[in-house]
Structure 1
Amino acid sequence: MSNVKKRASLFIKGLVAAILVLGIGYAIYMNFFKEKEVTAIDKSDLASNFTLKNLKGEEVKLEDYRGKGVFLNFWATYCPPCEKEMPYLESAYKDYKDKDIEVLAVDVGEPRIIVNQFVSKKELSFPVLLDWNADVADSYEVNTLPVTFLINEKGEIKERISGEMTEENIRYYLKSIVPER
């Protein structure tokens, strides 16, 4: 092997080793040393307000939905249980949107173009919001997807549901947050 090839091989091995060390160091820093701004969420706590952009680039604030029941769903296009829920959620949303219920589907960490294609393909009509940096998901302590928060008309979290739901589950939970009039 020529000297040039040996140097190139050593350089590549060194580069790979440096990247591994940096990656491990970053993971340790993020998990043990970096302070996160996390608001603990518990049942009957007021839902933390947030502002996110929808697929049209318009800002949407959670507090704008005070007075309505909110089905706050954290999801992603690459998540099979999330994808399976979407048609059920769309069907139930059509029946409950006139009952002072709002569905807010918060996509976690994906670019608008991917989410927009997914929403168009699935023909979803409820608001889809983009949490590119996962800041809102972090503040709600979302670690796995899908996760749904049921928020009543007073802005209180009534339930946190982790994992895939059936259409019957979704309808049951939507019914539970219909505002009392």
Structure 2
Amino acid sequence: MDKKKKRLMIRGAILLIMMAAIIFALTSKKETKVLAVGDKAPNFELLDMNGEKVKLSDYEGQGVFLNFWGTWCPPCKKEMPYIEEHSKEFTKKGVQVLSVNIGESEFKVDTFINQYGLTFPVMIDKNKSVSRNSYNVVPLPTTMLIDKNGIIKKIVTREMSEAEIVSLMESIQPE
């Protein structure tokens, strides 16, 4: 085989491999649905810091204040004491706070829990399957307000004031 034909065959093989890779990349991309107000909140199951399973569906009939956060996030640190303070009051009124840390170590999260005296369920989304795939959380903190029927009523993608936290918890109280 002469050099020209050999070079042409190699180029053709490279082109076929590149085309196959492009087709694979385009067809295997998993579309992530961006959640919006009015959507049904996707159910999830994560372990809390005590190793107990926590499922969103377990709280149907209650309002859920679903907060995604990180120990390194200054706005998360600022709002967490307010969330803790008012979670006790609103739990009695049918609003459950669920807190999801995104991918940090149990040691870091446990230290944070102790530092802030958190008493509501705290889970770690170790492989980010809930925060990234189901809920498409990008900025931290992100809080989803979910009503008693599992419908997202509000999405907050920034730090919240104490007054805003109280108002939002009030807005998802079951009647």
Cα deviation digits, residues 130-178 of structure 1 (max 9, x gap): 1011111112111110000000000000110010001101000000000
Q: Aligned residue for 1:128?
A: 122
Gaps of 5+ in 2: 1-21
What is the identity percentage for the equivalent residue pairs of Structure 1 and Structure 2? 45
Distance 1:150 1:163 in 2: 13
Distance 1:89 1:42 in 2: 23
- 2:94 aligned with 1:94, yes or no? no
Distance 2:99 2:53 in 1: 14
- 2:149 aligned with 1:154, yes or no? yes
Q: Aligned residue for 1:46?
A: 40
Distance 2:55 2:106 in 1: 18
* Bigger Cα Rg: 2
Count of residue pairs the alignment pairs up:
150
- 2:128 aligned with 1:106, yes or no? no
Runs (4 or more) in structure 1 with deviation over 2 Å come to: 32-40
Q: Alpha carbon RMSD of aligned pairs, Å?
A: 1.5
Secondary structure of 1:47 counterpart? coil
Q: What letter corresponds to residue 136 of structure 2 in structure 1?
A: E
Distance 1:103 1:124 in 2: 11
TM-score by length of 2: 0.82
Q: Aligned residue for 1:173?
A: 168
Gaps of 5+ in 1: 1-28
TM-score by length of 1: 0.79
Of 152, 159, 164, 2:159 maps to: 164
Q: CA deviation at 1:37?
A: 5.6
Distance 1:54 1:39 in 2: 26
